[in-house]
Amino acid sequence: MKLLICDTLIMLNLILFGPPGAGKGTQSEKLIAKYNLSHISTGDLLRAERAAGTELGNLANDYISKGELVPDSVVIGMVKNFMLNHGDAAGFIFDGFPRTIPQAEALDTMLHDFSSSISVVLGLEVEEDELVKRLLLRGQSSGRVDDQDENTIRNRFQEYQNKTLPLAGFYSNQNKYVGVQGIGEIDLIFNSLCQHIDAVLQ
- Interface contacts to ligand C5P, rule CB under 6 A: 20, 42-43, 46, 63-64, 67-70, 75, 96-97, 99, 146, 156
Smallest distance from the beta carbon of 63 to ligand C5P, in angstroms?
5
Phi-psi group of 67: left, alpha or beta (phi > 0 → left; psi -120 to 50 → alpha; rest → beta)? left
Q: Does 138 bind Mg ion (CB under 5 A)?
A: no
List Cα–Cα distances, 2 to 5, 8, 9, 189, in angstroms.
5, 10, 11, 36
28 binds, options Mg ion, ligand C5P, none, Cβ within 5 to 8 A by partner type: none
31: CB partners within 8 A, 6+ apart:
14, 16, 37, 93, 190, 193, 194, 197
* Beta carbons of 18 and 182 less than 8 angstroms apart: yes
Nearest 10 degrees: Cα torsion 106, 176, 134, 58 = -10
- The reply to whether 24 belongs to the active site is yes
Task: Give 46 or 118: the residue with its C-beta nearer to ligand C5P.
Answer: 46
- The reply to whether 154 belongs to the active site is no
Q: Which residue out of 24, 47, 134, 163 is catalytically annotated?
A: 24
Smallest distance from the beta carbon of 187 to ligand C5P, in angstroms?
23
- The reply to whether 156 belongs to the active site is yes
123 binds, options ligand C5P, Mg ion, none, Cβ within 5 to 8 A by partner type: none
Beta-bridge partner residues of 122: 16, 178
d(CA 25, CA 147) in angstroms, rounded, equals 14
Q: Which residue out of 30, 50, 138, 176 is catalytically annotated?
A: 138
Task: Give 103 or 116: the residue with its C-beta nearer to Mg ion.
Answer: 103
Contact pattern for Mg ion over residues 17 through 56, marking x by CB under 5 A:
--------x-----------------x-------------
Task: Tell me, letter by letter, the H, E, C secondary structure of 179-201.
Answer: EEECCCCHHHHHHHHHHHHHHHH
Known catalytic residues?
A: 24, 99, 138, 144, 156
Interface residues toward Mg ion, by CB under 5 A: 25, 43
